[in-house]
Amino acid sequence: GDSVTQMEGPVTLSEEAFLTINCTYTATGYPSLFWYVQYPGEGLQLLLKATKADDKGSNKGFEATYRKETTSFHLEKGSVQVSDSAVYFCALWTYNNNDMRFGAGTRLTVKP
Amino acid sequence: GAGVSQSPSNKVTEKGKDVELRCDPISGHTALYWYRQRLGQGLEFLIYFQGNSAPDKSGLPSDRFSAERTGESVSTLTIQRTQQEDSAVYLCASRITGPDTQYFGPGTRLTVL
């Protein structure tokens, strides 16, 4: 079935480091892709999304580009801050079953 | 407007007891999901309701788990004969339909003693 696979964590970085969290997908048809974030003690919330190939979603300095050729939607940020420490979830929506599926999540810790 | 609400926010129960968790989705949202999130772990899909279609129950871990939804409103997740491994935060989420934003509730923290 349709699914996303994201890199296992945890990921620990120093402040101002470059971040990449990998996400690849398997889907029939053309999914929409999302990144959600869960800050400590808070609920999941949408970070960014892309609905078609080559689209780039961006928010709060984070970016992800929908790559159909590599079936990927990797999350990147050029310079992370301590406040970016959170769990990041990749997700996809497929038209076939109108279903949203989430990856297991990747925990990011940024140290000062 | 109001977001997704869940009750209770915390539930402590004894092993072997039944518990019922409630989710009130955002009005008009046809899609509703239940997830389990163990401490320090990721999301574990449990069940998906979409309108009047038969629910996708493929994520329910055992027959002790069941869920119902009345139309496009409230949903309840029932865990029978709770076990200690059921201890987790149970999250509910709803979505209007299609590739729209999915909104998550604050969760119910279940502790089975």
> A32-80 pLDDT, tens per residue?
999 999 999 888 999 999 999 999 999 999 999 999 999 999 999 999 9
Whole-number Cα distances in Å, A97 to A15, A66, A94? 41, 20, 6
Distance CA B88, CA B16 (A): 16
Quickly tell me which residue has 């101002």 as its tokens: A16
Question: Closest Cα of chain A to B113: distance in Å?
Answer: 23
Cβ neighbors of B100 (< 8 A, separation 6 or more) are none
CA B57, B70, A102, B9 torsion-angle sign: negative
Distance CA A39, CA A43 (A): 7
Mean pLDDT (10-residue bins), chain B, 113 residues:
90 98 95 92 90 91 95 93 97 91 94 97
Q: What does DSSP assign to residue A67?
A: B
For chain B, list residues whose CB is within 8 angstroms of any CB belonging to chain A: 31, 33, 35, 40-43, 45, 48, 50, 56, 91, 93, 95, 97-99, 101-102, 104-107
> A1-23 pLDDT, tens per residue?
888 999 888 999 999 999 999 99
Cβ of residue A100 closer than 8 Å to a chain B Cβ: yes
